Chain A
């Protein structure tokens, strides 16, 4: 028993030494093995689907696999609170989501801080959008705003979660359009769209992706992207209608603090290359996503801009003073 123990110890020591050497080794041959891609959500959601699309091209570029794993719980908090315990050799990366990583740790202890999430690339977002059923009397955003002004609180919106992208969008919209609506949080965008289709609510705070998926039953009144979405050329943006709203659910990747800069840069380059693949771009667009390129070098500015936006919303939501 003692012998096997010492052999085990020696083997363990050898392994850790070996891994120490590989981190020292130059990032040139990175990745030398498969990379674990941990989703802080369960399978089947938008984070998962977009990661699955990346998977294929990652293997094309690097010859190594991107292995998707799941660590769901607490709306992502379970995964992100464990990011700092993950290996710092770049072979473990984690999905990173906005506004979640900013709003979750605000005003309460969820086991991680926004700064703990070391983002190296943000690759797309699902723009916020207001959806109604096909047979809804609201033809334009103005129709809906008028109804909300006539009877404050009577227009109901479904959406996914509290203090989520949808909740923030609703709060911001109420402020910009000077109306009061009733936001009803659901356990996910699947449940939220069921409520819309079933006639439980008048409208839904959703995304272009939901409209893409249910385009035979719902229509969008406005989209919170900078330009009209190519799939929906007839749907105006909020900015066109005079409301300064651009946002949604942004998705990217992060590594634990302490991962070498060169490795992070290499990862950022690989994922940027995936983003430039026309086939990937088409697949993402067909699902309703909007690609963005936020490589490592631009991450700090991007994040601090987002921080300002969401801090203002959080104050409005009453999350912080």
Chain B
């Protein structure tokens, strides 16, 4: 069996060592706010040129897998998603850490990442060519509606006021228009400043809006960062496994959604975990505890975002269209190594393909021991460093990390400004997630709309273009459902309430 022999080839001591090194360094880079998976991979590409193609691929896949997982540490422990795909991890991960369950949250994220990662890799191995066709059936109009759908998730996700959620998203949409427009080429809302020319970079916005308010609150309040229990409880693996067992359907559903949504190049990675989070919440009986430290929330998002690793490679390898920015870097490295995408993928290039997939598989398995080990140290160091040292250390890392994204001081200025704005808005009940969602989805919606508009003009019918396709109609229906779901749910609860009341009255009368 071809697949097996290549997978075994990937198991040579050298390759295993490289995978181990890759996963470990990926986890550490991913855990530092601002140092993203893209950067981790890009920095290491030249190192891999000296290696055989197999070793190079294994190392790159390992770094990527590790970095996506490592992003959950900063999301859980300091409320800062390192990448857009870790946004939803902050919803329940940080509240868990705050109440002293940070160690459990890290363990849960490890277990979920392994499950999600394996599902993604399995899909890549078995149904890649089929799923790649789905990616192609999404045109500009479908992307426009998908972005709208993503925005409607706010009503499901925002705690507190839905109205404030939508206002935050509106603010995020406005922020997304800053800079030189991709479609149209105009310069918008830069106020003549060079700083805003490149637009607002999403990762720097994430750091600013999530991390800076936490830092300000840490300085402003006498409480310690995370609540710490006196007794040592290790990694709480048994407890974690129990939660994972209870949430086994949640895990599988989230991993499947993650893989499925991630095959859409550009939009997939960032919204995959949000969609699975809102689905997990919708399916749960105790949906009101989501957002307040429900372990199932962490399981859902982490399973989904590690599934995007395998899912994102489907269009990358089959069609040569990178699903996420790190995919683009790895594809570039593959091209330089002499790899070509397309039908040769599983024939002429089969050895490269299977080695790469085998490497991803090994890296995902290595996440379990390495993640539990490094995660424990990350948790320990965050709780044992005194606050007077913790705050400047994190502050320093946010600045360095933001600068490193594209070697730009402008991004640091933008990050700090957004941080202060985010802190003020937070005090008035505006959460960062809707703002960031608006920022991410704004360009997708805008470009999709303009492209759809041009297509409509060429074909002679705007209505058919925007409302003609079955995929569009499905997404529109989902969006409507998503917006009105809270209303429907409230009404149903009310009816049940009155029914109960009727029943009890009947009991009394009879």
- Residues 62-79 of A contacting B (Cβ, < 8 Å): 65, 67-75, 77-78
* Residue A19 is within 8 A (CB to CB) of chain B in the complex: no
Which of B183, B194, B201 is most buried by chain A, counting CB atoms within 10 A of its CB?
Answer: B194
For B58, what are the chain A residues with a Cβ–Cβ distance below 8 Å?
none
**Given contact pairs A42-B325, A44-B332, A194-B136, A78 touches B408 in the complex (Cβ within 8 A):** yes
**Complex Cα gap A67–B44 (Å):** 11
Residue contact A153 to B457, C-beta cutoff 8 Å = yes
Residue contact A43 to B328, C-beta cutoff 8 Å = yes
Residue contact B46 to A110, C-beta cutoff 8 Å = no
Residue contact B328 to A45, C-beta cutoff 8 Å = yes
Residue contact B140 to A195, C-beta cutoff 8 Å = yes
Residue contact A72 to B320, C-beta cutoff 8 Å = no
* Residue B447 is within 8 A (CB to CB) of chain A in the complex: yes
For B136, what are the chain A residues with a Cβ–Cβ distance below 8 Å?
194, 197-199
**Complex Cα gap A286–B339 (Å):** 11
* Residue B468 is within 8 A (CB to CB) of chain A in the complex: no
* Residue B486 is within 8 A (CB to CB) of chain A in the complex: no
Residue contact A161 to B185, C-beta cutoff 8 Å = yes
* Residue A22 is within 8 A (CB to CB) of chain B in the complex: no
Residue contact B38 to A43, C-beta cutoff 8 Å = yes
Chain B 325-336: CB-based contact to A (< 8 A → 1; otherwise 0):
101110111011
Chain B 230-274: CB-based contact to A (< 8 A → 1; otherwise 0):
000000000000000000000000000000000001100000000
**Neighbour of A161 across the interface among B41, B182, B197, B265, CB < 8 A:** B182
Please, which residue of chain A has its CB at the minimum distance from the CB of B184? Answer: A162
**Given contact pairs A52-B336, A68-B46, A215-B342, A44 touches B322 in the complex (Cβ within 8 A):** yes
Which of A43, A163, A186, A215 is most buried by chain B, counting CB atoms within 10 A of its CB?
Answer: A43
Please, which residue of chain B has its CB at the minimum distance from the CB of A69? Answer: B407
Q: How far is the CB of B456 from chain A (nearest CB, A)?
A: 10
On chain B, the number of residues with a Cβ less than 8 Å from chain A's Cβ atoms is 60
**Complex Cα gap A254–B161 (Å):** 52
Residue contact B139 to A182, C-beta cutoff 8 Å = no
* Residue A33 is within 8 A (CB to CB) of chain B in the complex: no
Residue contact B198 to A184, C-beta cutoff 8 Å = no
**Complex Cα gap A53–B335 (Å):** 10
Q: How far is the CB of B304 from chain A (nearest CB, A)?
A: 23
* Residue B341 is within 8 A (CB to CB) of chain A in the complex: yes
**Neighbour of B443 across the interface among A70, A153, A187, A215, CB < 8 A:** A187
Residue contact A110 to B187, C-beta cutoff 8 Å = yes
Residue contact A109 to B183, C-beta cutoff 8 Å = no
Please, which residue of chain B has its CB at the minimum distance from the CB of A108? Answer: B187
Residue contact B328 to A78, C-beta cutoff 8 Å = no
Please, which residue of chain B has its CB at the minimum distance from the CB of A161? Answer: B182
* Residue A200 is within 8 A (CB to CB) of chain B in the complex: yes
Residue contact A187 to B137, C-beta cutoff 8 Å = no
Residue contact B408 to A184, C-beta cutoff 8 Å = no
**Complex Cα gap A200–B468 (Å):** 13
* Residue A11 is within 8 A (CB to CB) of chain B in the complex: no
**Given contact pairs A74-B198, A154-B458, A55 touches B46 in the complex (Cβ within 8 A):** yes
* Residue B319 is within 8 A (CB to CB) of chain A in the complex: yes
* Residue A81 is within 8 A (CB to CB) of chain B in the complex: yes
**Complex Cα gap A109–B193 (Å):** 10
Residue contact A49 to B192, C-beta cutoff 8 Å = no
Which of A45, A163, A194, A283 is most buried by chain B, counting CB atoms within 10 A of its CB?
Answer: A194
Q: How far is the CB of A153 from chain B (nearest CB, A)?
A: 6
**Complex Cα gap A65–B185 (Å):** 36
* Residue B42 is within 8 A (CB to CB) of chain A in the complex: yes
Residue contact A73 to B139, C-beta cutoff 8 Å = no
Residue contact A186 to B197, C-beta cutoff 8 Å = no
**Complex Cα gap A278–B41 (Å):** 29
Chain B 391-408: CB-based contact to A (< 8 A → 1; otherwise 0):
000000000000000111
**Neighbour of A163 across the interface among B185, B198, B343, CB < 8 A:** B185
**Complex Cα gap A48–B139 (Å):** 27
For A155, what are the chain B residues with a Cβ–Cβ distance below 8 Å?
458
**Neighbour of B265 across the interface among A45, A73, A78, A190, CB < 8 A:** A190
Q: How far is the CB of A209 from chain B (nearest CB, A)?
A: 10
**Given contact pairs A49-B335, A69-B407, A213 touches B320 in the complex (Cβ within 8 A):** yes
Q: How far is the CB of A156 from chain B (nearest CB, A)?
A: 5
**Complex Cα gap A70–B49 (Å):** 18
**Neighbour of B135 across the interface among A72, A163, A194, A201, CB < 8 A:** A194
* Residue A38 is within 8 A (CB to CB) of chain B in the complex: yes
* Residue B45 is within 8 A (CB to CB) of chain A in the complex: yes
Residue contact B182 to A194, C-beta cutoff 8 Å = no
Residue contact B183 to A162, C-beta cutoff 8 Å = yes
For B450, what are the chain A residues with a Cβ–Cβ distance below 8 Å?
185
Please, which residue of chain A has its CB at the minimum distance from the CB of B458? Answer: A182
For A44, what are the chain B residues with a Cβ–Cβ distance below 8 Å?
322, 325, 327-329, 331-332
Residue contact B38 to A73, C-beta cutoff 8 Å = no
**Given contact pairs A43-B332, A71-B407, A187-B443, A162 touches B325 in the complex (Cβ within 8 A):** no
**Sampled A-B contacts (25; CB under 8 Å):** A42-B328, A43-B38, A44-B327, A44-B331, A49-B335, A52-B46, A55-B49, A71-B408, A74-B199, A81-B197, A109-B187, A110-B187, A110-B197, A111-B194, A182-B457, A182-B458, A184-B140, A184-B454, A185-B183, A186-B451, A190-B322, A195-B451, A199-B136, A201-B455, A287-B335
Pairs of residues from A and B, 9 with the lowest C-beta to C-beta distance, nearest first? A73-B198, A44-B328, A162-B185, A78-B198, A200-B139, A198-B136, A182-B458, A74-B180, A44-B332
